[in-house]
Amino acid sequence: MSRWKAKHDKEHYYKLAKKQNYRSRASYKLKQLDKKYKLLKPDYNVVDLGAAPGGWSQVVCDVIGEEGTGIVVAVDLEYIKPIDHEAFIAVKGDFTTEEVQNTITEIIDGKADVILSDASPKLCGIKDIDNFRSYDLATAVLNISDNILKKEGNLIMKAFQGEAYQELINKLKKKFRTVKTTKPNSSRKRSSEMYVIARGFKGPKK
């Protein structure tokens, strides 16, 4: 892909997000994933990990609509500006901690139907270190499934291709019945990011 086209695509989704009042161009990644895989339903309880600024949570609120009974819990270390929808609840904190995970399950009065994560680690530009940080974050999200995801629930998360990428996929396949990877059109083509669609959580090991 030429630099011009990459820049054009970036600007296209940025401008579209502004026009349609989404907080991030990343909203279109989830919209495209949901259109292809039918991931979200109006009655689902959804947990959005690493949610700031809230673009993915906005998409979930759109799916829930006015009649749906679902809830979206958006979790991040950073403050998330409230979304004007009664289904939206923000939690400021570290989602890897037991305290925050307990808060999540209390809010939804049980476990989630879907876990979302578009979170990225802080990258330093050193390939080996960045690969480790990406793998570490993705593994943390995967491990949280044991505590907050329903049996047969689904996980949609970002992962980065690198040395440990296949190891992550192998771990996912042990926990979920089906695992697929994809890159939505709104992702930058030159980026190493991929999106994992893991369906049918087998439940935590006893």
What positions carry a catalytic annotation? 158
- How far is CA 171 from its chain centroid? 18
Task: Please tell me the distance from the alpha carbon of residue 45 to that of residue 29, in angstroms, as a whole number.
Answer: 20
Task: Please tell me the distance from the alpha carbon of residue 133 to that of residue 139, in angstroms, as a whole number.
Answer: 10
Report angle CA 96, 186, 70 to the nearest 5 degrees: 50
Strands of the chain, DSSP E:
45-49, 71-76, 88-92, 112-117, 149-160, 176-182, 193-201
Task: Please tell me the distance from the alpha carbon of residue 94 to that of residue 87, in angstroms, as a whole number.
Answer: 21
